[in-house]
Each structure stands twice: as C-alpha cells, then as structure tokens.
Structure 1
Amino acid sequence: MDKMKLRRELIEARTSLSPEQRRANATSIRETLLDQPWVQMAGLVACYWSTGSEPDTHGLVFALWKHGATVILPVHKEDDDLDWAVYDGPDTLARGRSGIMEPIDTRRGVDAIRTAALVIVPALAVDRRTGVRLGRGGGSYDRALARVGPNVPTVALLHEGELLEGIPAEPHDQAVRFAVTPSGLTRLM
C-alpha cells in the first residue's frame, strides 16, 4: 500500500462527509474521551486544534479546559517540529504561520509534551494491529510522540473507516496506544 495514495484516498473520503456528519462525529468522539477516567484525571493534556476535515477538537479542547485541565496546543516551528503553548480559552488563539490557530501564550519548548499526562494527536488513519498512525507526511507528530513517556496514553482521533490494517510503516513512525472513532475507543497496544 502506497502512503501517498492512501493519504489521498483518506482525505477524499473525509472531504465527502457532510457538515452534519462531521458535527455528529465530533460529539461522539468528545463524549467517548470525556467518559474515560484517565482523561478526567489528566492535569496536563497535549492536544491539537483541528482544521479542515479532521475530527473536530474545538469542543473537546474547550471541555477539557473548562473541566480544569491545562491544555497545551502545538505551535509549528520553521523546521516543522512542534513547540507548545497553553490554551487559555477561545480568545487566546491566533492564526499561525501555517494558517492553523495557535495559542498566543509563551512558548514552552518542544519538550513540554514530555510532562503531559495525556496526548491527543491527529491522524488520517491508524493501523489497528500496530498502532502506527498515518499523518500528513511532515513528521511533526512523529517527533513529538517520540518525546512522550512510555506510560502516557496517546490517542488518535479518527472518522469511521480510518482504523485500518496494513498501514505502511517507516522506522521514524510512532504508534499511538488508543484510537477514538465515533463508534468508540479502541485500545491498540
């Protein structure tokens, strides 16, 4: 299976989802995550601000923040690595260099993710056997996930049909421990 071809197919399938379906997916994913005790107890959560056809995280980030978690969001650096800054409500975001909303708070450095009790990452698909995620190809989240401790829950958010078998993996590809789709939570490792 060719990664580029698979990415194109998955992005095409995502863009065909109706706005109503995307909203329903986001609600199901958010409720599933917020029902998990290990999510409820996480004091510091690394997440991302969704864009385009990704499963929407805006409500999730807000809910985590309102429930008392400190949420850090990525800030894309020039070298495509991820710096991190604290989300402190919807008015604390500004459009970043790649057009994605980013926190305006002080940058905490690429190693800030090491202190997170929960890490939520984007993915186009995840291999149900290995937990390897297929991203957009820049390697930003693989670098970030490589910094996460071995006992920290790492979670990819997916639409239905994106939990696959046989995703091609390269040595730098990082696995996640869980995937959440609108139909529920899947433990991968």
Structure 2
Amino acid sequence: MSHLGHMGEPDKRTLRRELLAVRNRLPAGDVREAAAALAARALELDELAHARTVAAYVSVGAEPGTLALLDALHARGVRVLLPVLLPDNDLDWGVYAGEGSLARVRHGARTALLEPAGERLGPDAVTGADAVLLPGLAVDARGMRLGRGGGSYDRVLARLERAGGRPALVVLLYDTEVRARVPAEPHDRPVHAVVTPSGVRRFPRAAR
C-alpha cells in the first residue's frame, strides 16, 4: 500500500465510525420516510428509467432503505440482481422476485443479511447490469464513495473494469452523508450519481 494509503486508512476508519454512529441513532420512522423518498428520487433517474438490468442490494438496519425501490423496479419489469456474500467477501448474484424471494442468512458474527433464495448466477453476472446501486457511508464533491470497508464492492468495480463494463454507478445516502471530501485511494473510482431523500446529484467527471 502506498504512503497515502497508510495515511488515508485511519481517516476512513474514523469517518466510518462517526457516520455509522449517526445512522444508528436515527428513529425507525425517519428511516422508513427516507426509504420512500429515496425510491421516488431514484426512479426519476434516467439511468434507472432505461435500465433493463439493475444490480442492487437489500438494506439492513438504519442503512438508507432499498426495498421500496427494489419492488418498484421489479414491478416495472426490470431484472434486479441482488448480492450473495461469499466466504471470501466476494459477491455472487441472484434475481429478485419480490420480498418473498429473500432469505435471511447469517454470516458468522455479522448482522444477518437478506439474500435472494433462488439460483446463483455467479460473480460475473454483475457485468451485464446497466446500472449498479452501491451501498456506502458517504460521497464527496468529486463523486468519491466511502464504503463500509469490507472490500466486496471494490471487487465488483474491479470486475466491471476488467469486463469493459460501463454501467451507471449510483450510491444511495442520507442528505448529511454528502460531504465536501472523503479519503480516497488512487484505485478508487468515482460514482456517477448520488441519490438522497432530497434529490439527485450527478458527478460528470466520472467518465462512462
């Protein structure tokens, strides 16, 4: 890792702790309201309006809620791919077929995740997506995303890069999580847009 990486990582860890602490204090009603607003805003995105396949994820706890958005995309006839966490932290994928198609899976001591219960499509399935919804904790004015630190989505982004895929990269956040700057590594890729309950912000410098 570069010297920059050594310096940047503790900053990331501190910022992650602070952001997660704020999320965990959110009342359940606020989380529900934000999820409904996020779905409405995200559905206005051209990148999702014209997508045939969207790779997404199921939110847990106080994360910005995604289920309302998953259901709306599914109702539109969009093929929605959801991740399945593998033992090495990589992601396999399955198709979302409504809330009844999800199974609660516990991965060691972590929070149980809701994952698609059907057929596994393989880690490369994400390369066929027109848009990828990324979880995160913050994004900055450059479009740089602060992830949760598990590395799963770094692998997804690297896989897209290798495949020559250029899907729209969209992160879903609360309004307070759009920051002036977050720590970034040289290999980090900017997202194309952030959706928050109050609106959408695009990052035109994120080359497609």
- If the TM-score is normalised by the length of the shorter chain, which range does it land in? over 0.9
Q: Return the alpha-carbon distance in structure 2 between the equivalents of residues 52 and 177 of structure 1.
A: 25
Query: Structure 2, unaligned stretches of length 5 or more?
Result: 1-7
RMSD between aligned residues: 1.5
Match 1:154 to one of 126, 147, 169: 169
Encode CA deviations 1:123-163: one digit per residue, 9 max, x unaligned. 0001222x221111111011112233553211000011101
Identify the range of structure 1 (100-109 vs 88-97) with the bigger mean alpha-carbon deviation.
88-97
Q: TM-score, normalised by structure 2?
A: 0.85
Encode CA deviations 1:35-83: one digit per residue, 9 max, x unaligned. 2233122110100000011100011111100110010000000100111
Encode CA deviations 1:81-123: one digit per residue, 9 max, x unaligned. 1111111111111122431010011111111111001110110
Q: Check whether the contact 1:75–1:96 (CA below 8 A) recurs between aligned residues.
A: no
| Residue 141, structure 1, aligned to residue 153, structure 2 | yes
Q: Return the alpha-carbon distance in structure 2 between the equivalents of residues 29 and 22 of structure 1.
A: 10
Aligned ranges 1:63-102 → 2 under 5 Å: 63-98=72-107, 99-102=112-115
Aligned ranges 1:143-182 → 2 under 5 Å: 143-148=155-160, 149=164, 151-182=166-197
Q: TM-score, normalised by structure 1?
A: 0.94
2:66 matched residue in structure 1: 57
What SS class does the counterpart of residue 161 from structure 1 fall into?
helix
Q: Return the alpha-carbon distance in structure 1 between the equivalents of residues 19 and 178 of structure 2.
A: 11
Q: Return the alpha-carbon distance in structure 2 between the equivalents of residues 175 and 109 of structure 1.
A: 25
The structure with the largest alpha-carbon Rg is 2
**One-letter identity of the residue aligned with 2:37:** S
Query: Structure 1, unaligned stretches of length 5 or more?
Result: none
Q: Return the alpha-carbon distance in structure 1 between the equivalents of residues 188 and 155 of structure 2.
A: 9
